[in-house]
Amino acid sequence: MKLDILKPLIVTLVAGMLSSAAFAITPSPTPTPDPTPNPSPDPGSCSGAECYIRGPNPTVRALEADDGPYSVRTTNVSSFVSGFGGGTIHYPVGTEGKMGAIAVIPGYVSYESSIRWWGSRLASWGFVVITIDTNTIYDQPDSRANQLSAALDYVIAQSNSRNSSISGMVDSNRLGVIGWSMGGGGSLKLSTQRTLKAAIPQAPWYSGFNSFNRITTPTLIIACELDVVAPVGQHASPFYNRIPSSTAKAFLEINGGDHFCANSGYPNEDILGKYGVSWMKRFIDGDRRYDQFLCGPNHESDRSISDYRETCNY
Enumerate the active-site residues. 181, 227, 259
Taking Cα atoms as reference points, which of 195, 180, 186, 147 lies closest to residue 276? 180
What's CA 189's distance to the chain center, in Å? Answer: 14
CB 294 within 8 A of CB 278: yes
Q: Under a CB-based contact definition with an 8 Å cutoff, are residues 271 and 262 in contact?
A: no
3-state secondary structure 232-299: CCCCHHHHHHHCCCCCCEEEEEECCCCCCCCCCCCCCHHHHHHHHHHHHHHHCCCCHHHHHHHCCCCH
Q: Residue 128 and residue 106: Cα distance in Å, rounded?
A: 18
* CB contact at 8 A, 257 and 230: no
Rounded to whole angstroms, the Cα distance separating 242 from 208 reads 14
Answer for the pair 296, 302: CB distance below 8 angstroms, yes or no. Answer: no
Judge whether 127 and 100 are in contact, CB under 8 Å: yes
Nearest by Cα to 97 from 160, 30, 44, 158:
44
Give me the DSSP letters along 39-73.
PPP------GGGGG--SSPP-HHHHHSSS-SSEEE
User: Which residues does residue 177 pair with via DSSP β-bridges, in sequence order?
Assistant: 103, 199
d(CA 77, CA 284): 24
**Bond from prior residue into 313 cis (ω within 30 degrees of 0):** yes
